[in-house]
A and B are shown apart, each in its own frame.
Chain A
């Protein structure tokens, strides 16, 4: 899916959009987690993270794992420190009102696949 399609499906709102364009970026997999150590352990590159956690460590985790898009679920508004770090690292931020389960379900229904988790085949 393209980022704009994801935004439409989740009725998501922009929190930070990097200067370079994401319009043509095709997203094929997603990761939904509130445990950053699990994201560090299992996620693969070029995926998107859906999370209910809003502190700056979420952005740090994505920086380390090369994740370029974070979607905050359950209508959560991250603090300014989180948005500031995302701006520095050019990681796109969106938020939506759906729960983590609902958001993942909607994206799955529209063709986003789970990641092939490292270590479990």
Chain B
């Protein structure tokens, strides 16, 4: 059993860098596979990380995606600088989105991102203000 919290990943995510969208989440998936976690936990973590990574690219001026592992828990943290979320309640309403056409053409921006993070995590916290947003999503195993 792992006895303490460990930082597995701390990667920069750039605004609008869609060509590289998913690279950090892909790295996370490979890292968790090496740790031999259950495939369902890995899948949940990968989906959460991917949605948060795309959110940073779409909605912020850039940020970082961090992944920590602790006894019985994976924690994914997305920190960005940017305008923040106007209404967290609205952002958590399926179908609500402020994303533009370029993002929609990629198959995102349908107002499902944070709902998916909430759906696949066991705990989710959002702090948002006029200078940025922090989303923390935990998965228990």
Residues in chain A within 8 A of chain B (CB atoms): 34-41, 45, 51, 53, 55-58, 60-61, 63-66, 81, 89, 119
Contacts and interface: CB of A to CB of B under 8 A. Distances in A.
A37 B29 contact: no
A37 B113 contact: yes
B116 A36 contact: no
A57 B47 contact: no
Contacts, number: 73
A57 B18 contact: yes
15 contacts: A34-B107, A35-B107, A37-B112, A41-B115, A45-B43, A53-B106, A56-B22, A57-B107, A60-B26, A61-B107, A64-B46, A65-B43, A65-B46, A65-B47, A89-B26
* Chain A interface, >50% SS class: helix
Contacts of B47: 40, 64-65
* Chain B interface, >50% SS class: helix
Contacts of B111: 37
Given A45-B43, A64-B50, A37 B22 contact: no
Contacts of A66: 39, 43
Interface range for B: 20 to 34
B90 interface: no
A39 B116 CA distance: 10
B19 interface: yes
B114 to A, nearest CB: 10
Given A35-B107, A37-B51, A63 B116 contact: no
A63 B107 contact: no
B14 to A, nearest CB: 16
A51 B47 CA distance: 19
Interface string B33-57: 0000001000100110111000000
Contacts of A64: 22, 25, 29, 43, 46-47, 49-50
